Amino acid sequence: MNQIIYLGAGCFWCVEAIFVRIKGVMKVTSGYMGGHLPNPTYEKVCEGNTGHVEVVKLDFDPEKIPLEKILNSFWKAHDPTTLNRQGPDVGEQYSSVIFCSQEVQKNIAQNSKKEAQKAFVEPIVTKIELAGPFYPAEEYHQNFFEKNPTQGYCLAQIPPKLKKLNLV
């Protein structure tokens, strides 16, 4: 039986481009979570006052890839020690966060965070919380890198991440 977890690690275009390439991840959907405004839009989230984070919803088969391996990729894919920032993207919507569907996932994520901290000098600031309402992003954000592989931002940000994770 598949499980769902939501990961925020900066721009969802980058996070989606990574996790669609990981075997055992069945589906990746870009969207928003954690805010107070129902049915947020990209424009509203970018204004920075909805409280939402850009996340990807991962539908994965734990028999093919355990959550621990997904989280190992998550820690390597971004800098979890920077608050509300990933590379050139600055704002609360780019927070490092793990939204869990189940309490057991939360425990696994907390243990994973403790283990990941050993690889960083600065403290990891990633929030780990139970998931609330998820709002899929607008259609043009879905599979953005696959649809726009030569777009400037994508070219600058995504290939280095894929190379770092041996996904190219």
Is 11 considered catalytic here? yes
Instruction: Please report, as a single letter, which amino acid is at residue 118.
Output: K
Neighbours of 153 (CB within 10 A): 16
Q: What is the DSSP string of 137-153?
A: PPGGGTTHHHH-TT-HH
- Decide: 162 and 73 in contact? Cβ < 8 Å: no
Lookup result for tokens 């400037």: 152
The gap from C-alpha 112 to its chain's centroid, in whole angstroms, comes to 15
| Helix-strand-coil split of the chain, %, nearest 5 | 40, 25, 40
Neighbours of 36 (CB within 10 A): 10
Of 154, 135, 131, residue with least CA distance to 50: 135
| Residues assigned a catalytic role | 11
